[in-house]
């Protein structure tokens, strides 16, 4: 067991050292970076972490506050499962727009009822301060909380 612990520690130390060396932005893999951003957003929602999910958004995004409220509402009320497939990618020097086939499953924590949504979502990334950030997301209603019937009291 001690050998496993040492190997993990050495691997973690090497990972930390290599990340320090490569901390400057890598422009060579813009496609990979924006796809990783979408993955981070989806995984943070699934983990119930709205602040982490919003960390990939640039605060100058015109719909930032509405998106933040939607994501907080969903993560507070539901267990979320996200499945995302990139169907198209358009890049210019300063931005990348992804068209995504997104499946979002919302499971109510109280009733265990589930709603499954599937739709086309577009996400636009732009480089801000050396990082690829989401500057537009549409449609934002895809991430809105469903209208719920009032909960019945159980005795």
Domain ranges across the chain: 28-143
Give residues with Cβ within 8 angstroms of 51, minimum separation 6: none
Q: Please enumerate, as own/partner, the contacts of 118-122 that have beta carbons within 8 Å and a separation of 24 or more.
A: 120/87, 122/97, 122/98
State the CATH class of domain 28-143.
alpha beta
Least confident piece of the model among 5-9, 49-53, 88-92, 147-151: 5-9
Which structure tokens are listed for 53? 């999910």
Q: 26: pLDDT confidence band, cut at 50, 70 and 90?
A: very low
d(CA 136, CA 128): 13
Which structure tokens are listed for 2? 């001690």
Task: Write the pLDDT tens digit of every residue in 93-138.
Answer: 889 999 999 999 999 988 999 999 999 999 999 999 989 999 999 9
- Give me Rg for the CA atoms of the chain: 19
Helices (H), 22-105: 30-46, 50-54, 64-77
Closest listed residue to residue 142, CA positions, set 113, 122, 114: 122
């Amino acid at each position: 067991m001690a050998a496993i612990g040492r190997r993990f520690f050495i691997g973690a130390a090497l990972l930390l050292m290599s990340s320090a060396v490569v901390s400057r932005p890598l422009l060579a893999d813009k496609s990979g970076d924006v796809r990783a951003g979408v993955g981070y957003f989806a995984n943070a929602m699934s983990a119930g972490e709205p602040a982490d999910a919003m960390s990939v958004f640039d605060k100058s995004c015109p719909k930032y506050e509405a998106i933040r409220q939607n994501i907080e509402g969903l993560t507070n009320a539901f267990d979320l499962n996200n499945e995302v497939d990139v169907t198209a990618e358009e890049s210019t020097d300063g931005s990348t727009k992804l068209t995504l086939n997104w499946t979002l499953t919302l499971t109510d924590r109280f009733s265990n009822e589930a709603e499954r949504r599937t739709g086309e979502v577009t996400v636009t990334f732009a480089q801000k301060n050396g990082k690829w950030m989401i500057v537009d997301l549409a449609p934002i209603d895809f991430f809105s909380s469903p209208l719920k019937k009032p909960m019945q009291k159980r005795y």
